Amino acid sequence: MKILGRSEPYGSFEISSKDVLGRVGRLVTKSGVIETPHLFPVVNPLIQPITPKEIRDTLRCNALMTNAYLLKKNFGDAVTKDGVHKFLDFDGIVATDSGAYQILAYGKIETEPLEIAKFEEMIGSDIAVILDVPTGFEQDRKRARFTVDETIRRADLTLENLTRNDVLWEGPVQGGIHLDLIAESARIMAKKSFAIYALGSPTQIMEHYMFDKLVDMIVTTKKHLPIDKPLHLFGAGHPFMFCLAVLLGCDLFDSAAYAIAARREKYLTETGTLSLQSIQHFPCACPLCSSKEPKEVLDYDKPMRQRFLAEHNLRVCLSEIERIKQAVTEGRLWELAEVRARSHPALARALRKLFEHRSFLEKHAPSTKSRGVFYFGSTGLARPEVTRHQVRILKNYRKPSHAFTLLLLPQTNEKPYHESSLFREIANSLGRGDRVHICFYAAPYGVVPSELDNYYPFSQTELTLPIDEETKTYVTERVAEYILRMDYKNIVILVDPTTWGEKLVQRCKQTRKFGKRVTVVVRDHEASDKLVARNVLKRLLDTKAVI
């Protein structure tokens, strides 16, 4: 395999930053390096409001995508003679699609898998997609089955007949909304020597705003593909959903949405789409929008309006990708996803869907980061930090062997919790021979042992108050789970009624049937910490107290 420079083989993918499943990386091609996440602006060789040269020089985007089938059908020898880079006048990285989307749109195309693959090699594509068979949104299981099997057959046929080793080939995963077929397709494709993998034909899913379905599709695909290879989400072009896709582990995107929206006189933003006719003030500070008023653009002729909108739309898309990279680098990707989820109810629903996949997110997310956790509400229960604590406290943690009684205190405003005046009042009054283990119950984690509360992420978590009911329910269940799992004989709980109410008390009462002796102390907010501590110590002395 040829080498770029001294040490980077074509197709190498090096990760520099990670957050949740999102990552910032470097993908090496024969024409240069792509920093991921990356959006390939799709260039239509027949009609294009922004030239490839402008995409490179003005918008500073070094990698685009074009359609090899349309090039072959309409320009043929002119492209093979000069190569795709010279033909497009693009001094950068060129990825080529095979025309499979045209199959989805029109039913068939006039080329064969080996014919289009040979053409992609001849024109010098840096990244090339095999001629797969997309699974449409409304296709039944029989048709979906065919698309999976035929795509696998075409993958084998293409790989067996390649003549160049400097083209990075993409292997699409098919199956549509049939998750078991996606899993099967991904497992089989993972065994093949592709440099990049792709989730095929999700465009119609996204057009219908079925982002919760898209979450299932992406996670199912990721579970069965090599974690060290990039994943390309075909046809994802609206900036408001990039963050969710990156959080789930997508590295590459492509879309002509910026140009298609411009033809429809639509103005993209990172939170949605506006009609040009309805805009009174441009909500953007890009060079275009900051120099013109909407009424001036409306006075342009149609080609000028479309060019203005296409360039703005692409700037917004590229800017959002850069914002996401920075969020990954800072460890703030989840927080950005929460902000974007407020853009549309369908995105909020998709973010909630992550709770079903929290174990997978936790398994592959970094265990530490340089920033703390901002917890806004119950959608954050799917965060890897929350799931990881639940796993570790139940599987790895062992309570102090001498502990006979568990004292549960509510989380405090002071951090770490053991530096609060209430904790110090109680701990200083307990002798070495006292067999009491002090823990805290804290949103969103559950039980936090006092000897661990200064470790990440407990002291580094900021909460939105008041705590929402779903989070209270989650914490309550984790407390009950902990009580039942550990072999304390007595449990004394200090309850803050203004924060936790009766739910925690009632759930702990239910542990009586398993032989647990539970005493509840209700905190009086008018009382000082010293007085509350005295009341708690008094109840600790009576280990026979039972609710």
Residue 7 has a pLDDT of: 62
Q: Nearest to residue 494, comparing CAs of 415, 412, 386, 404?
A: 412
Which two three-digit tokens encode residue 414? 């002071």
Residue with tokens 């409001």: 49
Radius of gyration (Cα) for the chain, nearest Å? 28
> At residue 11, what is the residue type?
G
Burial class (CB in 10 A: 0-12, 13-18, 19+), 530: exposed
Average pLDDT over residues 518-531: 88
Contact yes or no for 237/254 (Cβ under 8 A) = yes
Q: Nearest to residue 186, comparing CAs of 196, 172, 176?
A: 172
Contact yes or no for 226/251 (Cβ under 8 A) = no
Q: What are the backbone dihedrals phi and psi of residue 231, each rounded to the nearest 5 degrees, phi first?
A: -115, 130
Catalytic residue among 19, 77, 89, 97: 97
Whole-Å CA distances, 251 to 135, 243, 359, 476, 535: 21, 11, 21, 37, 56
Asked whether residue 106 carries a pLDDT value surpassing 90, the answer given is no
Whole-Å CA distances, 34 to 22, 31, 315: 16, 10, 18
CA distance 12 to 234: 21
CA distance 151 to 121: 19
CA distance 38 to 378: 30
Residue 97 catalytic?
A: yes
**Angle, alpha carbons 254-259-260 (nearest 5°):** 95
Asked whether residue 472 carries a pLDDT value surpassing 90, the answer given is yes
> At residue 451, what is the residue type?
E
Domains along the chain?
3-259 (3.20.20.105), 373-541 (3.40.50.10630)
Write the pLDDT tens digit of every residue in 201-245: 788 888 888 999 999 999 999 999 999 999 999 988 899 999 999
Residue 100 has a pLDDT of: 83
Residue 139 has a pLDDT of: 82
Identify the H or E element spanning 85.
helix 84-88
pLDDT-derived band of residue 543, with 50, 70 and 90 as boundaries?
A: low
pLDDT-derived band of residue 6, with 50, 70 and 90 as boundaries?
A: very low
Residue 3 has a pLDDT of: 43
Q: What are the backbone dihedrals phi and psi of residue 274, each rounded to the nearest 5 degrees, phi first?
A: -120, 150
CA distance 141 to 181: 9
Residue 288 has a pLDDT of: 95
What is this structure's pTM?
Answer: 0.93
